[in-house]
Amino acid sequence: MKHITFSLLILTVWANAAQAACYADYKAKRDGPLRLHYGVAAIDGDCAVDAAADALLDRLSADDWQLLTVLGVFDDAGLEERKESAGDYYLRY
Amino acid sequence: MTTTSATESREIGNRIVVAGIAAIVLILAITAILLFMNLPDANAFNARVEQVFIENDLLTGNAEIKLLEILAQSGTAFSDTLSSYRFVIFVLLTFATALLVAAIAFLVMLIALTRRMSQIERKGIEVNSLLISRDQKSVYLNNFEFKLTKAAIETLSVLAEARMDDEVMSGAEIEGVISGRPSSDCDEAAGATRIKRLRDTLGNQMVSELLVKNIARKGYMLAINKDVIRMV
């Protein structure tokens, strides 16, 4: 019993860790006048481009941004190299 | 049997003119519509910039994105120019329509005038003006001057006055007016003689002016173009 609880705990922690470590970089626009931005956002749940696109679409449209494309998903390792490019939009949405 | 009268052909001509003008307006309207549809949209530049942004994965730097935005803005500024072009094109098309319609109208007028001219030429002499000069004892028909005797001038003047009042005069009445006696006392034949003399002098001179010319000390010649002579 104790064994099972422990393994469940491990699983949860691992799942959490996996969730927290998922990020996506995307491109978005706003019309009239045309504004563009490249950003990095943390993704909850499924760590895939499609899921990231679904999640970002809502988050960005709340602020009047229109998602153009999701470039890819990555974990903590890829975070630092994109920080400079994303600028103001680093983990903003 | 089919016949074509002059009014009928004029009606057909009018219909052709209306159809031609309508066709011109229609063609230019279609041209305008196609032109305006094919002119680039004001947003075309923005769409292009957006496409460049999406297609280049490496285009993520802040500075590059700013540059793209500036490009898009200059494109938007250009689209204002484009709308002014649209207006210029519209004005030019309107001018073209007006000019073509005017050209058609003038062409038709020219054809009508030519037709009328040839009609007048066929009709021979048509009197546009009659000027009687009692002092010089001459009468001007159109611009031809004819010398008449005093009696003939009187006859012509009486006839001209009667014509102005839309009256028809008998020979006795003419003789009465000229001699100053009541027309009941006058002879019908006397008036007829006056008319005959007027016809003779005037007709003689008209024919010599228009047809049989007398060239001094040389002889006589027909005063017509030799191309128009035909023998049957």
Does residue A2 have a pLDDT over 60? Answer: no
The beta-carbon neighbor of A36 closest among B53, B57, B76 is B53
Q: Which residue of A has its CA nearest to B68?
A: A36
The phi and psi torsions of B171 (rounded to 5 degrees) equal -60, -40
| Whether the Cβ atoms of residue B184 and residue B194 lie closer than 8 Å to each other | no
This prediction's pTM: 0.45
Write down the pLDDT at residue B13. 72
pLDDT at site B226: 84
pLDDT-wise least confident of A34-38, B39-43, B50-54, B138-142: B39-43
Q: What is the mean pLDDT of residues B16-33?
A: 87
Quote the pLDDT of residue B165.
92
Examine the pLDDT at B121 and tell me if it is beyond 80. Answer: no
Rounded to an integer, the average pLDDT of B78-82 is 79
Q: Are B97 and B25 in contact (CB under 8 A)?
A: yes
Distance from CA of B58 to the nearest CA of A (A): 10
Helices (H), B39-187: 44-55, 62-123, 150-164, 171-179
Q: In chain B, which among 24-53 make CB contacts under 8 A with chain A? A: 46, 49-50, 53
Residue B103 predicted with pLDDT over 70: yes
- Mean per-residue pLDDT for B199-211? 86
Specify the higher pLDDT residue, B14 or B21. B21
Residue A51 has pLDDT above 60, yes or no: yes
Would you state the pLDDT for residue B199?
A: 92
Of B53, B57, B73, the CB nearest to A33: B73
Residue B113 in this model has a pLDDT that exceeds 80: yes
Closest-CA distance of chain B to residue A65, Å: 13
* B172 or A17, greater pLDDT: B172
- Cβ atoms of A70 and A49 within 8 Å: the answer is yes
- Asked if A65 and A37 count as a contact pair (C-beta separation under 8 A), the reply is yes
Q: Give the tokens for residue B35.
A: 């032109």
Q: Give the one of B57, B65, B68 whose C-beta lies nearest to A71's C-beta.
A: B57
Check: complex ipTM more than 0.95? no
The CB density around residue B83, as the number of other CB atoms within 10 Å, is 11
Name chain B contacts of A29, Cβ cutoff 8 Å: 50, 53
Q: Is the model more confident about B163 or about A10?
A: B163
pLDDT for B159: 92
Residue carrying structure tokens 């030019």? B92
- Which of A35, A33, A53, A34 is CA-nearest to residue A43? A53
Segment among A19-28, A45-54, B108-117 with least mean pLDDT:
A19-28
* Mean pLDDT estimate for chain B: 85
Measure Cα distances from B146 to B32, B151, B183, B203, B204 in Å: 63, 14, 29, 10, 10
Please report, rounded to a whole number, the percentage of residues in chain B having pLDDT higher than 90: 18
Give the residue from A74, A34, A84, A80 showing the smallest Cα distance to A52.
A74
Chain A positions in Cβ-Cβ contact with residue B76 (cut-off 8 Å): 33-34
Taking the Cβ of residue B143 and every Cβ of chain A, the question of whether any pair is shorter than 8 Å is answered with: no
CA B86/CA B92 separation, integer angstroms: 10
* pLDDT band at residue B193 using 50, 70 and 90 as cut-offs: very high
Mean pLDDT of B31-37: 84
> Residue B9 — pLDDT band, cuts 50, 70, 90?
low
